[in-house]
Amino acid sequence: MTRRLGSETLAALPETVATPRYDRRKLDVGIVHIGLGAFHRAHQAVYTDDALNRSFGPWGVCGVSLRNPDMRNALAPQNGLYTMAVRDEGGERLRVIGALTQTLVAPEDPRAVLDRLSDPTVRIVTMTVTEKGYCHNPATGELDDRRPEVRHDLTNPTQPITLPGFLVESLRRRRAAGVPPFTVASCDNLPNNGEVTAGILKTYAKLLEPGLDHWIEDHVSCPSSMVDRIVPSTADEDRARVNAVLGVEDASPVVTEPFTQWVFEDRFSTGRPAWEDEGAEPVSDVRPYEAMKLRLLNASHSCIAYLGYLAGYQTVAETVADPVFARFIAALMDDEVTPMLRMPAGADLTGYKAALLVRFANPALQHRTWQIAMDGTQKLPQRLLGTIRQRLDAGLPIDRLALGVAGWMRYVRGVDETGRPIDVRDPLADRLRALAENAGPVAGRLAPALLSVREVFGDDLPTSPVFVEAVISALDGLFDRGAWYCVERLADA
Ligand code: CS2
């Protein structure tokens, strides 16, 4: 049997595989990360690992899974160690990351998570719980306190299941014990992710214990950040390839691209690792960078996901290898998104977009269109609808953005262009399906039906005749001629 990656086998790895240069046994847990997925392990954990390599400090990471035990099951037997494979067409570099020193599974033992979060050595909580983990209304950014899981946590505060449930209860305990609060740093793809987080914590706290909201307002820092690195979910063939090089078994390597970026508001009141020495960019206002990334990278990703999937493409690289799609995405970014961005002097949007096209085309990443298509109801507002609103206000055309929205509608109907079922994953999937079934495959019925989902489209867009007409006409084209032809029609300026 092959031996497992872990503290005992680190020394046996081939020399080409980089390993932590610090003494992991001496690491205190200074950071709790909630949402222990591939993204964190290829992003913030790497900046922290870099910082520890350069100058040791009390910044070990405890990773918490809010849902299932898979990651703990994979990583606990490896003492938290895992391999990061950085891939492009030039090849693959492997590196073992050591920053993660503990893994917890919230549903198994919520008390252990609350204890860890209440521990005075913990000074920062970062999170990547995806858009839906915030229990908020995506159109307004506010906590949706009617959700059953939020009601559950308010009545069982010592057995929480949600992000706000864990954070607010542990902040309450810290206040009661006279322990300073931790900094709460959202690393999810939401605009103003710090502000959204602060709002959710305060609304929840007020419901839990009136007055706690004021204390949070006065004492808890929630810096916003823009995080960027493409990290597809790891496939079996990735695992096999990495393990063949390691010579030991890593049950959960992460595979990513060379590019990485982290821009954050520098408001970590409780200290932080010197991430800026490792390439992260502390700024006073992160909003322009968030808008740039969400509206260029993520908006393009969502359009590639829906329209590429419908056109029969499995991955992002495959989709943009089709010149029609590559030109469509370039035109979407240049003509419809860029004019609405307000960047600080010196920001190089032209270079950023050129780099994006190269990143999307990276043939060494198997980034599935289906993966990005997930959770559309949580993603569309910040990726496409914000730009659409601005353009409608300015009386500008929205053809490509509207095709993206129509692509989502065609996709969530749950049947592809050859009649095969689509496995639609979305917190609102049942509602979307019922609306779609009731409307039938007719653009003039399906579009208005889906636009009635106010958590996504708000109160304004469904009553904008220009928007409604643009979406119906795009959706009509999708039903009539299919995604590829609609993309081709809008591929050039
Ligand atoms: C993607 C993002 O799955 C998705 O929705 O658009 O995960 C994207 O890969 C990252 O935001 C890149 O930084």
| Phi and psi angles of residue 223, each rounded to the nearest 5 degrees, phi first | -65, 145
First-to-final CA distance of the chain = 58
Calpha distance 383→15 (Å, rounded): 42
Ligand 1 site-directed mutation target among 43, 128, 193, 230, most atoms within 8 Å of CB: 230
Q: Where are the domains of the chain?
A: 10-283, 287-491
Taking residues 191-201, what's their average pLDDT?
97
Is it the case that residue 251 has pLDDT exceeding 70? Answer: yes
Give 30-72 pLDDT, tens digit per residue.
Answer: 999 999 999 999 999 999 999 999 999 999 999 999 999 999 9
What phi and psi, each to the nearest 5 degrees, are found at residue 68? -125, 165
CA of 395 to the centre of ligand 1 (A): 30
Specify the residue with its C-alpha closest to ligand 1, atom 6. Answer: 298
Mean pLDDT over the full length of the chain: 97
Instruction: Choose among 319, 330, 340: nearest CA to 386.
Output: 340
Tokens of 27: 């690491």
Ligand 1, pocket residues at CB < 6 Å: 189, 228-230, 297-298, 301, 371-372, 379
Report helix, strand or coil for 266: coil
Are 316 and 349 spatial neighbours (Cβ–Cβ below 8 Å)?
A: no
| Residue range 10-283 in CATH 3.40.50.720 | yes
Instruction: Give me the mean pLDDT over the 230-248 stretch.
Output: 97
Please state the atom number of ligand 1 nearest to the C-alpha of residue 39: 7
Q: Rounded to the nearest whole angstrom, what is the distance from the C-alpha of residue 238 to the centroid of ligand 1?
A: 19
For the four alpha carbons of 400, 187, 197 and 105, in that order, the dihedral sign comes to positive
Q: Span 289-315, mean pLDDT?
A: 98
Place of tokens 């909580």: 125
Res 471: pLDDT: 98
Is the domain spanning 287-491 CATH 1.10.10.10? The answer is no
Q: What is the pLDDT of residues 146-180, one digit of tens each?
A: 999 999 999 999 999 999 999 999 999 999 999 99
How far is 134 from 455, CA to CA, in rounded Å? Answer: 14
Q: What is the pLDDT of residues 253-286, one digit of tens each?
A: 999 999 999 999 999 999 999 999 999 999 999 9
Answer yes or no: is pLDDT of 1 > 90: no
Residue 493's pLDDT band (cuts 50, 70, 90) = confident
For residue 107, report the distance from its CA to the centre of ligand 1, in Å: 26
484 has a pLDDT exceeding 90? yes
pLDDT band for position 487 (50/70/90)? very high
| CA 297 – CA 325 distance, rounded (Å) | 15
Q: In angstroms, how far apart are the furthest CA atoms of the chain?
A: 66
Q: Closest residue (by CA) to atom 11 of ligand 1?
A: 228
Q: Could you tell me the two tokens for 179?
A: 């322990």
CB atoms within 10 A of CB 7: 13
